[in-house]
Amino acid sequence: MFFKLQKTDGNARRGQITTARGTIETPAFMPIATQAAIKAGISPDDLNAAGAEIILGNTFHLHLRPGEDVVKHFGGIQEFCAWKKPMLTDSGGYQVFSLAKMRKISDNGVEFRSPIDGRKIFFSPEKVMQIEYDLGADIIMAFDECPPYPAEKRDVEKAVKRTTDWAKKCKSAHDALLKKAPLDQRLFGIIQGGVHPDLRKQSAEELCNLDFPGMAIGGLSVGEPNSFMYEICEFLDPILPKEKPRYLMGVGTPVDLLQSVERGIDMFDCVLPTRNGRHGNAFTSQGEVTMIRAKHARDDSPLDPECTCPTCTNYTRGYLRHLFKAGEILGMRLLAIHNIHFYLHLMRQIREAIENESFTAFKKEFLGRWKK
Ligand SMILES: [Zn+2]
């Protein structure tokens, strides 16, 4: 069985995803390895030490460089980057549609110019399936149209229609690839529809009919108020099948994770732990901390007294501040290690709270301590 729902607490769900490369306890957070590497110099050893069970690679970036043929030569993305556990690749839809001035969209796909060398590239649903198949991740995403926020409702409606058409094409192309040469790889559908409940419902129902093994919610966390994101998750919860994992793409802050788990989400990915770490910002049990502040200069306490990560075990706030002031790469690395550890520990606490049916109390206690 690919996904097993083990326990619920309100609408929060505790489950397990099983792939050939290992088990993923859910709710799960996936650190992002955009170019088959976690930014800030985080290695697979660091990820293992933090307890990561799955990471995400990016189809758009890996197609541009080094190319899926190179990754395939090494036996797939996991072998290529020496990460032995499960991986997920997103479809590149979000990145392609972010290239507003460099793309031409039709019902067949999107033509764009490579931001690296300017060459013309065409992404169709079939082409993206071939790329993701060659990259060889355990879970892959369908090619979707991700409209910006804000957008005219008629444009979002068009994107929903195109996303369903492309999801059908992705499914048959992927089925054909697996038939030709079997691979333990599962394709998820992506629900679009912006902030419009009627379009979200339409998109969810059309994609549910295609019977993907997992469902993703895309097109959120693109600039809309957070309350819209929570409302859409809450609205979709009863529409989505209980027995399949739900993945909220590109989300989010620790608060977003708690709010979305409460609304029935099982999987998340976000650049925040590494991006904030690179900029000297840490997530701690007491809220966010900016390392560059002068007040840390002679502070000999750890970054987060409640954290057991290597950064908090071995280094003082004063030293971390010095590394950022001096522009030393070690500072970015140490903060990213801590932030990833913090996110994965938060997910462990969330899972434990659901098991004990104390999720609401845990969320309240966490938010009470969390200072922006
Ligand atoms: Zn730490």
Report DSSP letters for 251-275, one per residue. ---HHHHHHHHTTT--EEE-SHHHH
Q: pLDDT tens digits for the chain (372 residues)?
A: 999 999 999 999 999 999 999 999 999 999 999 999 999 999 999 999 999 999 999 999 999 999 999 999 999 999 999 999 999 999 998 888 888 667 899 999 999 999 899 999 999 999 999 999 999 999 999 999 999 899 999 999 999 999 999 999 999 999 999 999 999 999 999 999 999 999 999 999 999 999 999 999 999 999 999 999 999 999 999 999 999 999 999 999 999 999 999 999 999 999 999 999 999 999 999 999 999 999 999 999 999 999 999 999 999 999 999 999 999 999 999 999 999 999 999 999 999 999 999 999 999 999 999 865
What's the gap in Å between 261 CA and the centre of ligand 1?
A: 23
Supply φ then ψ for residue 31, to 5 degrees: -65, 150
Active-site option among 9, 134, 269, 304 = 269
Is 186 within 8 Å of 214 (Cβ atoms)?
Answer: yes
Distance between CA atoms of residues 92 and 98, nearest Å: 10
Distance 307 CA to ligand 1 centre (A): 4
Whole-prediction pTM: 0.98
Ligand 1 centroid, distance to 50 Cα (angstroms) = 10
Specify the amino acid at residue 273.
P
Residue 321 burial class via C-beta count within 10 angstroms: exposed 0-12, middle 13-18, buried 19 and up: buried
Taking the centre of ligand 1 as the mean of its atom positions, its distance from the CA of residue 310, in whole angstroms, is: 7
Answer yes or no: 90 catalytic. Answer: yes
Alpha-carbon radius of gyration of the chain: 20
Q: How far is the CA of 346 from the centre of ligand 1 (A)?
A: 12
Tell me which residue of 186, 233, 190, 240 sits closest to 213, measured CA to CA. Answer: 186
Question: Which helix (H) or strand (E) is 4 found in, with range?
Answer: strand 3-9
Under 8 Å CB-to-CB from 78, ≥6 apart: which residues? 21, 84, 85, 87, 136, 137
Active site residue 184: no
Find the 313 Cα to ligand 1 centroid distance in Å. Answer: 7
H-helix or E-strand spanning residue 245: none
Region of 55 (left: φ > 0; alpha: ψ -120 to 50; beta: rest) is beta
According to DSSP, residue 138 is labeled: S
Instruction: Render 7-29 in DSSP notation, one character per residue.
Output: EEETTEEEEEEEETTEEEEESEE
Residue-range domains of the chain with CATH: 3-270 (3.20.20.105), 272-361 (no CATH)
Alpha carbons 9 and 12: distance in angstroms, whole number: 5
Task: Enter the tokens of residue 338.
Answer: 């801590």
Q: What is the pLDDT of residue 169?
A: 98
From ligand 1's centre to the CA of 48, what distance in Å? Answer: 15
- Measured CA to CA, the distance from residue 310 to residue 302 in angstroms comes to 11
324: exposed, middle or buried (Cβ count in 10 Å: 0-12, 13-18, 19+): buried
Catalytic residue among 46, 90, 134, 304: 90
- Give 106's strand partners: 109
The pLDDT of residue 16 is 98
Q: Residue 150: is the preceding peptide bond cis (ω within 30°)?
A: yes
Look at the block and give the residue holding tokens 């690296």. Answer: 116
pLDDT at 372: 56
Dist. CA 226–CA 205, nearest whole Å: 24
Cβ count near 184 (within 10 Å): 12
CA 47 to ligand 1 centroid distance, Å: 13
Residue 48 CA, distance from chain mean position: 18
Is residue 193 packed enough to be buried (19+ CB in 10 Å), middle (13-18) or exposed (0-12)? buried
Ligand 1 centre to CA of 336 (Å) is 9
Give the list of residues 6+ apart from residue 257 with CB closer than 8 angstroms, or none. Answer: 27, 29, 251, 268, 343, 346, 347, 350
Residue 356 CA, ligand 1 centroid: distance in Å = 25
